[in-house]
Structure 1
Amino acid sequence: MLSAEGPWYTERVPLGRSDVTVSRLGVGTAPLGGLFSAVGERQAADTLEAAWTAGIRYFDTAPHYGAGLAERRLGAFLTGAGHPRSAYTVSTKVGRLLVPGASAPGDEAFHGAPGLVRVRDYSAEGVYRSLAESLERSGLDAFDIVLLHDPDEHWEEAVTGAYPALARLRAEGAVRAIGAGMNQTAMLTRFVTETDLDCVLVAGRYSLLDRSAADELLPACAERKVGVLVGGVFNSGILANLAPDAMYDYAPAPEAVRRHALALGACCAEYGVPLAAAALRFPLRHPAVTGVVIGARSAQEVTVNVAHITATIPEELWARLDAMERNG
């Protein structure tokens, strides 16, 4: 299926009730900040160039990713290439301030990051400072979307401090859409039902291994016309790599999870479909989902992801995978 301007995954679609649009396939920049292993400057630039050439126009970043490294690399690519600002959409996040400190190699799973440490801050002042510093690091004139990042243990501060600050920035036109990005669904559902978000980014909770977002979060978003971006579709890697040392939710995969993933892979293989292709396409079957955000650390990974999202997947396979979920 092709749009008027390119493959269907490059279609720019509205994000919730906002005037922001995102491509159906977006690129997450955590790997470019050295998640799990270091990435060099040239490799990072080539990765972003491959995404742009493929027609991807939505990019997600955060101060957390490499302690600012991902923001700097993304901004350098977008501004250095001279792409018109209206041609792409960028989201960043607030909730972690970066302060000078001795960070060890691989600190918080990131490698190659500068000597900075992360300090949680979901106050209004923390939001303004974080956003100002992100703009300085990236060299961008504005971010289209700003997300509260992982406020798991900080609900009160986030809902009384950070959220009102983001709503104020949106009302002033400093940002165009606001939301929250988390690895859980319960608090995201609270944000959707108790505040006025434009979107959520839910990671790892709407995948072939974990469909829990479909219970409450996705229906709440559909009812309130809140855009849904889905990240972590490979659950930290296991649905893209069934090796014995595969990762699940940022840790070595438990044996039961690995067995389930192997069964899913075997089912997909019967139809000649890579498990990663089914995992990447799966979230887009739900009408509440606006787009998927996939991390990449190389141009080759971008090419593979594009091949997977454009793969032909028979309805019979979806029915089989759905039945496996229902039957446990």
Structure 2
Amino acid sequence: MEMYSRVIATGSALPKMRVTNDDLAARLRVDGIETSDEWIRTRTGILERRFADAQKGETTTSLAVAAARNALERSGLRAEEIDLIIVATTTPDMVFPSTAAHVQSAIGATGCAAFDVQAVCAGFIYALNAADAMLRAGPYRSAIVIGAEVMSRVLDFKDRSTCVLFGDGAGAVVLQSSSDPGVLAARMYADGRYDEKVLGLTARIDNGAVVGCPYINMDGRQVFKLAVEGLVNSANEVADLACVRTEDVALFVPHQANLRIMSMVAKKLGIPEERMVKTVSEHGNTSAASVPLALDRAVTSGMVKPGELVLLQAVGAGMAWGSALVRW
């Protein structure tokens, strides 16, 4: 019997600190240039975001653990029934051990496979694809896939072109193997020609010192163009593989990076904007946490019904991008 994987539960976690556009504008009066709520909102659709407070114990790991526990509780599974934990993050709390290993320890899933995936904003799609393949192949039967980020640690608050975009948070899903199709098709892509000059963070640890730039660098115009093209093409491919039309998608959960990108992709795919989940105004771009956070919002608010088609997709540095088509 052919096996598939199904999403049986979602979960999320957000830091307590809300940072509004006005809060950032007050902080960004640099070199005589003033930033305003209107300047941020009209370019991005973002109104506020959450920032983690490490002094209060809010870290990438703590957010990932909270999201995993949330999803696990809703799934009805016990921690010892989990065979696989994959965490997508580009802002781990340490080089190693992995964030996934710390999540495993915290939730009591000792002994299962646990590893991290680094594909920046596309990380959750990569992690979901990997978990789906492993559950289909066996012997794994249940998995927690998490996207978790503390992007506020790598923002240059003298660069308004990047620091207004990002936020912190974590989202998670529980997958279970099933004879009924759940993840219908998923694909990952990358093009390394568009390297750190387009979007990157070049810092590394070398002999005890930080070498390179510890802040995000981005060419916004190039990212916008590549994002729209990549997301539209990947959505069409997974729809073809699943033998459905993008117009049949009941819920569109795009990467929450920029409202203009999201709306343009939806239009090109023939998906009415009212079917699109929008959390970017509240969360900003939470990188690998973006898609699972938005998905959890949709699930908990009743936006998706059993049997409906859900399109998930994200794009990030690498450049890396991907889509997944799920039957709920």
TM-score by length of 1: 0.31
Instruction: Decide which structure has greater strand share.
Output: 2
Larger RCO of the pair (alpha carbons < 8 Å, separation 6+): 2
Give the structure-2-normalised TM-score. 0.31
